[in-house]
Amino acid sequence: MGINVIDIDKMAAFYCQVIGFVVSDEGVASFGSRIVFLTQDPEEHHQLVLIDGRPEDVSYSTVNQISCKLDSLNDLKDYLDILIDNGVSKIEQVDHGNAWSLYFPDPEGNFIEFYVDTPFYSSQPCREPLDLSQSEGEILARTEAMCRNRTGFISRSEWQESIRERIGSIRY
């Protein structure tokens, strides 16, 4: 889940110091807002995303998106077909390096993300085009090449171990 926040530093501190999350990544999103990724699980890059820029007097929902993890790249491809067959518009196919995602609005404009983890870690935010019409091998090779060209490339399993150690250091 992602939420828009007024004071991103205060919110990140609360979720880390009080709730027990760790910052798995942070940076500036393509739309200019600071973004902080938080997790309590070394198997998940993020379980919560904080995005700054929420006005103090806002009357809209602070939920940025609803995310659903899928089991495979084929599942993601199947959902793309289902969305198209059902007339869903504004579908974005995104390669985050650490995940392949589909983003689309529900009928009331709430953003939904369907995603599948990749075998790689790539520092976030990372947002490159994804073409789900390509074969799984082509997508995997393109994503790996992209990740290897980014700062801090490691495998997902190496990243998970580093997060596991960080979580263990604050809990025990």
Closest CA relative to residue 4, chosen from 41, 36, 38:
36
Domain limits at 40?
Answer: 2-171
Indicate left, alpha or beta for 9 from its phi (over 0: left) and psi (-120 to 50: alpha): alpha
Per-residue pLDDT of the chain (172 residues; tens, 9 = 90+): 888 888 999 989 988 887 788 999 999 998 899 999 999 889 999 988 999 988 888 777 677 787 889 999 999 999 999 999 988 989 999 999 999 999 988 776 778 899 999 999 999 999 999 999 999 999 999 999 999 999 999 999 999 999 999 988 886 6
Domain count, the chain: 1
pTM of the complete model:
0.75
Task: Show contacts of 78-81: CB within 8 Å, 24+ apart.
Answer: 79/114, 80/132
Query: What pLDDT is attached to residue 108?
Result: 64
Side-chain-side CA neighbours of 41 within 13 Å: the count stands at 6
| C-alpha pair distances (Å), 1 with each of 36, 108, 148 | 12, 17, 27
What CATH number is attached to the domain comprising 28? 3.10.180.10
Query: What's the distance, CA 48 to chain centroid?
Result: 9
Cα–Cα distance between 58 and 101 in angstroms, integer? 29
